[in-house]
Amino acid sequence: MPDHSFYEKQYFGNSIPSDVFPRLVKRAGDQLARYKRLYSVTGDEDAEKMAICAMADALYYYETAANGGIVTSSSIGSVSSSIAAPAVDLSEKAQSRELYRCASLYLSIYRGVGR
pLDDT tens per residue, range 22-68? 999 999 999 999 999 999 999 999 999 999 999 999 999 999 887 76
* Residue 56 forms part of a structural domain: yes
Say how far apart CA 49 and CA 78 lie, in whole Å: 43
For residue 17, pLDDT over 80 is answered with: yes
With respect to residue 27, please indicate whether it lies within any of the assigned structural domains: yes
For residues 40 and 80, the model is more confident at 40
- Domain containing residue 52: 4-110
What is the gyration radius of the CA atoms in the chain, in angstroms? 16
- To the question of pTM greater than 0.75 for the whole model, the response is yes
- pLDDT, residue 69, reads 58
User: What pLDDT shows up at residue 12?
Assistant: 96
Nearest to 95 by CA among 68, 69, 57: 57
**How many structural domains is the chain composed of?**
1
Residue 88 forms part of a structural domain: yes
Higher per-residue pLDDT: 111 or 2:
2
Query: Would 64 be classed as within a structural domain?
Result: yes
94: in domain: yes
Domain contains 115: no
Which range of 17-21, 65-69, 109-113 scores highest in mean pLDDT? It is 17-21
Evaluate the CA torsion angle 23, 28, 31, 37 in order and state its sign: negative
Residue 79 confidence (pLDDT) above 90: no
- The SS3 of residue 28 is helix
Q: Which residue has the higher pLDDT, 81 or 5?
A: 5
